[in-house]
């Protein structure tokens, strides 16, 4: 018995333990991490079980472990803000419903620009081709004969985007305003390809809309003054 405990064969039982724990885990990262440890025990076993290591088995297990390791790195990158530069980390604050991985994907299709003069972003009654996020400077919204300053870190054009309708207001960015923008068609394509991303973006624009409604005044033509 003592001999068995100190033999190479015991390594298979450690591998079995880690694989079993891994397959019981629901979280993909934990599952893969435990399986990776299990693979390491298998490789040690194949190395020590004979006078000559079982190279074919070591190669097969090593290849699978390497693929698993690459996927673990991808998962960590998707779940963390690690490797985001400081500008991206700031913009990520405006995307609370997206995972870091989803955010990176969305940002790949975006452009960031600084208005060199007064720039019309949306015009009432016209379909928006772009959706904007104001990250610095000033943008003014014109609606119902009233001018409002668009709050920083707000989306512009999400109403038309969600409703597939024309812009409900005109918005002009002032000189020096910095905004990130996406082509509406690119965003729609991305959302069609991934249901989780679709849900995360709809939740995001809905939250942004709720914040705008919270700040807004009743519409002038529907106000009934209390006496």
Among 15, 65, 160, 187, binds ligand CMP (CB under 6 A): 160
Residues 6+ apart with CB under 8 A from 28: 75
22 vs 160, which CB is nearer to ligand CMP?
Answer: 160
Please give the Cα distance from 20 to 150 (Å, whole number): 54
Give the per-residue contact string, 196-215, with ligand CMP (x = CB under 6 A; - = no).
Answer: ----------------x---
Tell me: does residue 65 bind ligand CMP (CB under 6 A). Answer: no
Please give the Cα distance from 144 to 146 (Å, whole number): 5
We find the least distance from the C-beta atom of residue 128 to ligand CMP, in angstroms, to be 5
Tell me: does residue 134 bind ligand CMP (CB under 6 A). Answer: no
Please give the Cα distance from 121 to 177 (Å, whole number): 11
- Please count the residues of this chain forming the interface with ligand CMP, following the rule CB under 6 A: 16
Please give the Cα distance from 35 to 15 (Å, whole number): 8
The pairing of strands 119-122 and 146-149 is unpaired
The pairing of strands 130-136 and 170-173 is unpaired
Among 122, 134, 139, 197, binds ligand CMP (CB under 6 A): 122
By C-alpha distance, which of 93, 162, 189 is closest to 133? 93
Q: Which stretch binds ligand CMP (CB under 6 A): 33-41, 112-120, 152-160, 184-192?
A: 152-160
| Structure token digits, residue 103 | 């955010």
Tell me: does residue 156 bind ligand CMP (CB under 6 A). Answer: yes
Among 32, 104, 138, 143, binds ligand CMP (CB under 6 A): 143
We find the least distance from the C-beta atom of residue 173 to ligand CMP, in angstroms, to be 12
Strand partners, 182: 131
Binding residues (CB under 6 A) for ligand CMP: these are 122, 128, 141, 143, 155-160, 167-169, 171, 212, 216
């Amino acid at each position: 018995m003592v001999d068995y405990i100190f033999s190479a064969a015991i390594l298979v039982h450690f591998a079995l333990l880690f694989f079993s724990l891994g397959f019981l885990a629901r979280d993909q990262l934990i599952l893969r991490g435990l399986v990776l440890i299990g693979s390491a025990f298998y490789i040690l076993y194949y190395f020590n079980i004979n006078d000559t290591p079982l190279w074919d088995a070591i190669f097969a297990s090593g290849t699978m472990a390497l693929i698993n390791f690459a996927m673990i790195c991808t998962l960590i990158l998707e779940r963390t803000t690690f490797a985001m530069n400081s500008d991206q980390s700031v913009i990520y604050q405006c995307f609370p419903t997206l995972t870091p991985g989803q955010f990176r994907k969305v940002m790949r299709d975006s452009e960031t620009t600084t208005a060199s003069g007064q720039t019309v972003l949306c015009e009432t009654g016209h379909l928006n081709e772009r959706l904007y996020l104001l990250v610095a400077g000033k943008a003014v919204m014109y609606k119902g004969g009233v001018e409002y300053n668009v709050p920083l870190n707000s989306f512009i054009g999400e109403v038309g985007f969600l409703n597939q309708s024309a812009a409900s207001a005109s918005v002009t960015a002032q000189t020096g305003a910095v905004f990130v923008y996406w082509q509406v068609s690119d965003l729609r394509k991305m959302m069609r390809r991934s249901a989780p991303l679709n849900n995360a973006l709809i939740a995001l624009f809905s939250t942004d809309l709720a914040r705008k409604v919270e700040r807004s005044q009743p519409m002038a033509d529907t106000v009934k003054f209390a006496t």
